[in-house]
Every structure is written in structure tokens, then in C-alpha cells.
Amino acid sequence: MLPKRLSFLDIETTGTRLTYDRIIEVGIITIELNQNNQYEIIKTFNSLVNPNSCIPSDITNITGITTEDVSNAPSFREVSVDILDCLDASILVAHNVRFDYGFLKHEFSRLEKTFSMKHFCTVKLSRKLFPRHPHHNLDALIERFNISCQRRHRAFDDANVLFSFFQYIHKNVNQEELVNAINSALKKPSTPIKLSEEILNKLPESPGVYIFYGLSDIPLYIGKSINIKERVLSHFAGDYLSFTEMKIAQQVESIEIIQTSGELGALFTESTLIKKLKPLYNRKLRRSQKLVVLKETFTQQGFKTVMVEEVEKISAEDLDKILGIFKTKKQTKDFLYEACEKYLLCPKILGLENFTDSCFKLRLGKCKGACIEKEKAVLYNLRFTLAFMERKIRSWPFNGAILYEENNPTTGEKEYFLIDKWCYLGSIKSKDLDECNSKYEYIFDLDTYKILTSFLSRTKNQNKIKYYLPEKT
């Protein structure tokens, strides 16, 4: 059956950043189904909102709303009660609902209030009912259904466009078809406005990597999952509180899929592609080529200290000499200061200070005097070893190289990942296993190390490990 009450909502904001930008106008039209099976307007709300900040010129150019216009307008706190009253007991309807719903949640969260209600997107509804049309943005609906809009990009006027669109489909679409379309829009995640639903429907439910591309095929985001379809759809669902998810949904225009045999293959592929393509929103793994390593050395007095090196590659043979690996010099220095504080190490000996006499920490009672040979080297070196224990690369826990086995869920073919000394050496199909070349380049990768230490520690994954003993050449 048709929903009893619907609230058509549109907002204008100072920008698109959920955690930073603010609402500057709200327009709501709430309708209710009467006894004659017709919808009638029961409540409306229309107000500018003071964001307590200046409105950017590009927003003024689009909406016509200026900083002066909102300077005497009520704050969101002041209008929040009226908004909730208008939305009460209804289903929220908006065009590209992720945007409007996400901003409302953020505004209410700033007031320490939880905002949650059923909602659906008129973009999705239009696509469901009129699949033959290529475009479903608001301007396309206005032209297609001859809808009047006096002030485009003003909240109440745009909300009224949605109401007029719904009036049209309520009158001209079979009720059963309309109910099914609404139920479909309510149950499924909102499809990004620039992405066709056909693309999402064709996504495989198997392990692999997905790449979101934006305008001009710019890589936006790379992810991995053991169920690609489920993971991709999760980007376009949820509470919409993530700025990254919001930006991806607004910009994604196409998706590339790379299927793998299993989870480990997906992890390796994701890590490799992020370094290669440097997608806009994968900041965690977007790393420059160089790393900072700390190696152990000694002062002339026998105290352990560090030698800082910036390197592009780390050989597996050098891992025993390395105390820690860092992404930046700042991260390295921060760790050394933290080690001084926690283990009472001497900042002068670690190269953090260049005083000619004692270090500054000694004057504060936070150094035991290694800098002036007041402390014995053997005791200082013991604390030094403890300070770097967690940062040091773990010893390889196997007697040699291993093969990790994964079964391709689509073809059933086995694939083996050859790993030794925390280095991923390559993948081998089961049919090529006996002819495998035993010469490999052992280059240590920090991300691969983190992947393997987590992945191989799981009991269920340890059962798929086979030892590999290549012939010596």
C-alpha cells in the first residue's frame, strides 16, 4: 500500500563537506493520504538558516543566497523543533537523498540529538519507473514533466518540484507499480546519481578489488572484499555520516572490477593498485616511494643509538639490522621523543639534541645521565632494546618459503601465493606449480608485512599454508 505520510525535503548548504559545511536553507512539504486515496498537503516549512559563517561566492552564484541574507536568520537549533514537527511520522523524500539526509544528521548531532527516519531517493524512484530515460537529475524531471520552478536551487521551490513529480506519478502510474517502486527505493541503497543501476546489478558476489572512477577516469577509491557486490553497495548505504562516502557517491561515474581467488589475493592486489594509481580517497596507503628506517649503532662510549636512513627499497636481508620503519621523518622523530619519555632514554644520544654537555631531560630528572656517562651503558642499552621491541620487524616464523592456497570460487582453480621473509614473491596457478622459477627478488614492503602479520595469524588461514622448497640453482 502507499505510504500514509511523505515529507519532500530540500536543503541548501555552504558546501558539500559534511563535517565542515552548514545548512543555510530548509524547505519541506509534508503530504498525507486521505480517505479518497489522494494526497493533500498538511504541513510546510520554509526558512533560511544562519550557519554562523560566511557563504562562499560560488554558493551565492548558484542559490542567490548571500551572507547578509542569513545574518538575521534563525540558527539550526532554533528551527530544529519545527523541522522535526514537519517530518514527524513521515517518510523523508529527497533528490540525491544521501546529501540532504546526511547534512540533517550532522546538524542534529551537533545539538547532541539523534536523527533517524525512513527515507528514499526520487532519483532512484525515477530510474525505476522511467528506465528508458538516460538522465534523472532535477533539471531533467522539470523539463520531462513540465514542472514549474520559479527559483531553482532554493530549498522550498526544489522541494515543490519533488512534490509535483510525485503528484504526476501518483496520477499516471499504476498504483501497484508505484508501490513496488517506492518499496524498492526504501529497501535498497541509493544509487549514486552519475552511476547506472545496471552497473550495480552486474557486480559479482565473489572476492576481488573494485576501483571507483570519477570524471575523466580519475581513480577515486580502491577497495577490496570477499563479496564485491555487498561491499560496493555498502558504500551507498548507512547513516551517511562519512565525508569520504558522501564525496565518492557524488563523484563516482564508473566501476572497474578485478576478481581474485580469495581474500589474500584481493589484499595484495588492492595494496599494489593503490600505490600505482594513487586514488584520491585512499590516503592511508597512498605513500611516497621513500621510507625512513632506524638502524642500531653505538656511541664511542658503548651506548646504543640510532642511525636514520631514507631508503626507496628494503632488502629482506637487512631486516635484522632495522629497529623500525616509518613513513615520514616527522613520524620518526615523534617516536624517538616518545621513547625518551617512556623509557628514560637520552635525547642527546639519540641525536635529538646537540648540547655540548648534558641533555635537557637530565635537568628535568627524566634522563639517568647516559649523556655524561653517569649511567652504565649495559643498563641504558637494556631499556633501549625494550623501547624498540614493538617497532622491530618480527622474525619470519617459518623455516623457509610458504605457499598460501586459495580456491577461485568461479573457476574452482587453485592459486598459490609464494611468500618468504615477509616478502610477497608472486602467485602461481596450480597447473604451473611444478615449473615454477625459483629465482625471486626479495624486496620488503611495509604494507605487505602488515597484511601478512594480520592475515597469517588467523587459525583458519594457517590451515591453508603449504611449505615450498624450490630447487637450488
For 115-170, the pLDDT digits (tens) are: 989 999 999 999 999 999 999 999 999 999 999 999 999 999 999 999 999 999 99
Are residues 271 and 329 part of one domain? no
Which band of pLDDT confidence, cut at 50, 70 and 90, is reported for residue 352? Answer: very high
pLDDT above 80 (res 414): yes
Instruction: Write down the pLDDT at residue 285.
Output: 59
The helix or strand, by DSSP H or E, that contains position 403, with its residue range, turns out to be strand 402-407
Instruction: Write down the pLDDT at residue 469.
Output: 66
Q: Which of 231, 255, 277 is the last residue of a domain?
A: 277
170 φ/ψ sector (left φ>0, alpha ψ -120 to 50, else beta): alpha
For residue 29, being part of any structural domain is answered with: yes
**More confident of the two residues 39 and 186:** 39
pLDDT > 70: percent of the chain: 93
pLDDT above 70 (res 289): no
Are residues 103 and 28 part of one domain? yes
> Other CB atoms closer than 10 Å to residue 10's CB: what's the count?
25
CATH of the domain at 253: 3.40.1440.10
pLDDT above 50 (res 201): yes
Mean pLDDT of 337-345: 93
Mean pLDDT of 409-421: 86
For residue 460, being part of any structural domain is answered with: yes
Are residues 177 and 211 part of one domain? no
Instruction: Write down the pLDDT at residue 49.
Output: 97
DSSP state of 324: E
The helix or strand, by DSSP H or E, that contains position 151, with its residue range, turns out to be none
pLDDT above 80 (res 359): yes
Cα distance between residue 421 and residue 403, in whole Å:
12
Q: Which of 383, 310, 390, 399 is nearest to 350 (CA)?
A: 383
Are residues 145 and 54 part of one domain? yes
Mean pLDDT of 201-208: 90
Instruction: Write down the pLDDT at residue 473.
Output: 44
Which band of pLDDT confidence, cut at 50, 70 and 90, is reported for residue 234? Answer: confident
Buried b (16+ CB within 10 A) or exposed e, 239-260: ebeebebbbbbebbbebebbbb
Q: Is the pTM of this model over 0.75?
A: no
What rounded mean pLDDT belongs to the chain?
Answer: 90
For residue 395, being part of any structural domain is answered with: no
Are residues 255 and 169 part of one domain? no
Are residues 180 and 89 part of one domain? yes
pLDDT > 90: percent of the chain: 66
Are residues 149 and 46 part of one domain? yes
For the chain, what is the radius of gyration of the CA atoms? 30
Are residues 345 and 309 part of one domain? yes
Buried b (16+ CB within 10 A) or exposed e, 193-213: bebeeebbeebeebbbbbbbb
For residue 428, being part of any structural domain is answered with: yes
pLDDT above 90 (res 303): yes
For residue 472, being part of any structural domain is answered with: no
Q: How many CA atoms lie less than 13 Å away from 453 in the CB half-sphere?
A: 11
C-alpha cell at 202: 552486474
Dihedrals φ, ψ of 186, to 5°?
Answer: -75, -35
Are residues 245 and 164 part of one domain? no
Mean pLDDT of 58-85: 96
C-alpha cell at 94: 529527497
For residue 455, being part of any structural domain is answered with: yes
For residue 394, being part of any structural domain is answered with: no
Mean pLDDT of 356-377: 89
CATH of the domain at 15: 3.30.420.10
Cα distance between residue 81 and residue 180, in whole Å:
33
Strand-pairing partners, residue 404, are 417, 465
Which band of pLDDT confidence, cut at 50, 70 and 90, is reported for residue 466? Answer: confident
Which band of pLDDT confidence, cut at 50, 70 and 90, is reported for residue 470? Answer: low
Q: Which of 158, 187, 216 is the last residue of a domain?
A: 187
Cα 46 to Cα 12, 158, 323, 400: the distances in Å are 12, 11, 62, 70
Cα distance between residue 49 and residue 34, in whole Å:
32
DSSP collapsed to 3 states, 177-231: HHHHHHHHHHHCCCCCCCCCHHHHHCCCCCCEEEEEECHHHCEEEEEEECCHHHH
Residue range(s) defining the domain that contains residue 225:
197-277
Which of 138-152, 174-188, 404-418 is modeled with the greatest confidence?
Answer: 138-152
Are residues 84 and 46 part of one domain? yes
The tally of domains found in the chain comes to 4
Q: Which of 223, 229, 228 is nearest to 245 (CA)?
A: 223
pLDDT above 70 (res 287): no
Are residues 162 and 26 part of one domain? yes
For residue 32, being part of any structural domain is answered with: yes
pLDDT above 90 (res 193): no
Are residues 171 and 32 part of one domain? yes
Residue with grid cell 558546501, as numbered in its chain: 15
Q: Which of 162, 187, 212 is the last residue of a domain?
A: 187
Mean pLDDT of 342-363: 89
Which amino acid does the sequence have at 438? S
